[in-house]
A and B are shown apart, each in its own frame.
Chain A
Amino acid sequence: MLLKISELSARVAGKEILKGINLEVEAGEVHAIMGPNGSGKSTLAQVLAGREDYEVTGGSVLFEGRDLLTLPPEERARAGLFLGFQYPVEIPGVNNVYLLKAALNAKRKAAGEPEVDAYEFLALIKQKMKLMQMSETFLTRGVNEGFSGGEKKRNEVLQMLVLEPKLAILDETDSGLDIDALKVVSTGVNSLRDSKRAVVLVTHYQRLLDYIVPDRVHVLSAGRILKSGDRSLALELERRGYDWVKESKVA
């Protein structure tokens, strides 16, 4: 089991947002977590990544059998967890490539590997940039500095491709993308899919799942997973709306 979440609850600014989440993700799987605004999708993603101002009030999270919640965010990342942010922050003055190189070296160091060779790194990053159809000017710019919404999302996926995480949690990576960008981002995510890795897609819309086909779909509402199913659940949600799940649960 790559990820096992049991009865996870969490509070943000004194307000209970997650109220007992249960979720199991095996290596090789792609899961989609869907749900209406305010259901707790992003909170779950941030809690898993280790955001400190989000207070875990109960439950447990095991990542490859390790207690994830006791690790600081940087150690979670080095252990192979990656969060693709819904709103990637701009960091003027810190170069994109520097950040990525530092991130990769931190991971390699934790794994007992030597630092990446500068030329190999540049070749790697250029190859991945090509896949993500990103302009070369990216190399000289500050992290997400002046990027459009779509560029920021591509940059998140680029970072994921370079860091090759075991578990990627992509928080609304599809929002704000036009159809061409959505295809590019999906190609990037799909290129990472293999039997050793897993992806958790947090999304509002079924549309993304046309390009990245999930093994499991979960519906999150008011801090709980109300319903889980295969891909057809997403299609049904699209047709019938989230209220259908809420009502059927109550009934």
Chain B
Amino acid sequence: MSSPQPFAAAAAPTAALRSFEAQWLARQSESPRREPCSARDALSALRAEAMGRFLRLGLPTTRDESWRYTNLRRLAAESFIDAPRAPAASVEAADPLDSWRIAERLATMHMVNGFPMPPAQADAGARGNGALKHIEINYLRDFSRVNPDLVARHLSPLSDADGARWGLLNTALFTDGLYLKISGNLTAPLVIVHTAAADRPGTIAYPRVIVDAAPGSNATIIEHHVQHGEWTPLCNSATQLALGQDAAIEHYRIFATGSGCTHIDSLDVHQQRGSRCKQFTIALGGGLVRASLDAHLNEPGACLDSYSLLVGHEERHVDCVNIVTHRAANTRSQQTARSIAAGTSRVIFNSKVVVEAGAVQAQSQQSCRGLLLSDSAEIDSRPQLEIRADEVKCAHGATTGRLDPDMLFYMLSRGLDRGTAQSLLIYAFLADVLTGMSLNSARSAIEDALIAQLPDSQVLRSFR
């Protein structure tokens, strides 16, 4: 696999697959060293391997277990070219986070279609008081040249699982991104604004973020996916969180693009001894959002709290897939998912907890609740357990229903409008996720965006 030759695909390649292969070939010929993709460094070899595997395995279809609810056939028939680097100025003007009041952020990094916009630097205030001494912000493209082995380690091992397929493609084709090294206690959140902006249909972006949290470090990271302008590329984003011993990360990924956007996001979490990860997946926008979480509790004492707040609005399709693997003793995971579906939307939440042999005393909890707000909407929740160890404590539960008629009648009997009563109940339904957020400003920003999608939003605002 050392020459830029087409890879042999197992099945008849779709138009999308051929276009991805063309992107790969173009990247090889654009290589600044004018050398064929070689196995000279671990990263190049890994990426070539990723491309080869992707072409061999092909795009996932509804026959693949983790894709049974999301059909990409139409997408597979399209061809894609790289989305452009948009001009920074126009994008900054559209930064929605100013209105999101996350004022105390330590640094804001803008990425447009996966390309970091200069300066990927800190806010002036933060820089002045030395708060940034515990963070190193690197462009992935440059960083990869200097540290290919390190980057390759973060992107390894490659997986053939159908849930990881688009992540494989991102690994092969990302051109730039961010590598964040956190070495201490960050006093304020880091905000990454991912802007999707295309000048035509048929483009694709590969945003990539790697967060390397050193032992004992502590940070809050917000990835906010938004749209600028009418068109968006197909977003195939991927993020790695690597938590060293006793590190603590609170990570938010917020999908807030427009209804025309298709977004496939892969999040991988690797946790070492005693580390704590609190992860929030918030789907508030997009036409089709597929968000996967693949978490590995690799060493004893690692602990993961995953929260998913999935809002099906109008015709939106949200497909969230979590796989949490307990690989060591005394690891703990908890997953809380709240899905609501209105209009003709569809929300899917699948979670699987795997307890490997030897992961004794592992504890896991899965709580999935769905709330249907219309007859044409659909929610599918499926918590699963795969246990190969003894002495574990695993619980799961899933319920989906409509608004409780007794609660509704109680509120109506007190004179509340039906719309207000319904909105309050929806809001209350989501409270388990919202109250899990340690960051008040993020919580209130997310509440604002959420409320805007509920009926009678004006009344709800007055309650806060």
Contacts and interface: CB of A to CB of B under 8 A. Distances in A.
A93 B431 CA distance: 6
Contacts of B404: 89
Contact of B407 (A53, A91, A159): A91
Contacts of B459: 102
A110 B413 CA distance: 14
Given A94-B425, A106-B416, 17 more contacts: A72-B412, A73-B413, A74-B417, A77-B412, A77-B415, A78-B415, A85-B410, A88-B410, A93-B427, A93-B431, A95-B463, A98-B424, A103-B415, A103-B416, A107-B415, A110-B415, A163-B415
Interface in A22-64: 49-53
Nearest to A91: B407
Chain A, interface size category, equals: 20 to 34
Interface in A77-103: 77-78, 82-83, 85, 88-89, 91-95, 98-100, 102-103
Contacts of B406: 89
A46 to B, nearest CB: 9
B428 interface: yes
Contacts of B428: 91-94, 142
Interface in A139-154: 142-143
Contacts of A143: 410
A74 B409 CA distance: 9
A86 to B, nearest CB: 12
A98 B425 CA distance: 12
A53 B415 CA distance: 18
Interface of A: 49-53, 72-74, 76-78, 82-83, 85, 88-89, 91-95, 98-100, 102-103, 106-107, 110, 142-143, 159, 163
Contact of B412 (A50, A82, A100, A142): A50
B255 to A, nearest CB: 24
B407 A102 contact: no
A49 B409 CA distance: 9
A91 B425 contact: yes
B70 interface: no
Contacts of B417: 74, 106
B414 interface: yes
Contact of A102 (B405, B410, B420): B420
Contacts of B416: 74, 99, 102-103, 106
Interface in B422-455: 424-425, 427-429, 431
A83 B407 contact: no
A91 B410 contact: yes
A46 B249 CA distance: 51
A45 to B, nearest CB: 10
B418 interface: yes
B131 interface: no
B411 interface: yes
Nearest to B432: A93
6 contacts: A50-B413, A72-B418, A74-B415, A99-B411, A142-B428, A143-B410
A83 B413 contact: yes
B413 A94 contact: no
A106 B419 CA distance: 12
B407 A89 contact: yes
B172 to A, nearest CB: 44
Contacts of B425: 91, 94
A103 B411 CA distance: 8
Contacts of A76: 413
B415 A106 contact: yes
Of B425, B427, B428, most A-chain CB atoms within 10 Å = B428
Contacts of A100: 414
A94 B412 contact: no
B422 to A, nearest CB: 11
Find the residue from B404, B405, B416 having the highest chain A CB count within 10 A: B416
Interface in B131-178: none
A159 B410 CA distance: 12
B463 A52 contact: no
Nearest to B409: A51
A248 to B, nearest CB: 36
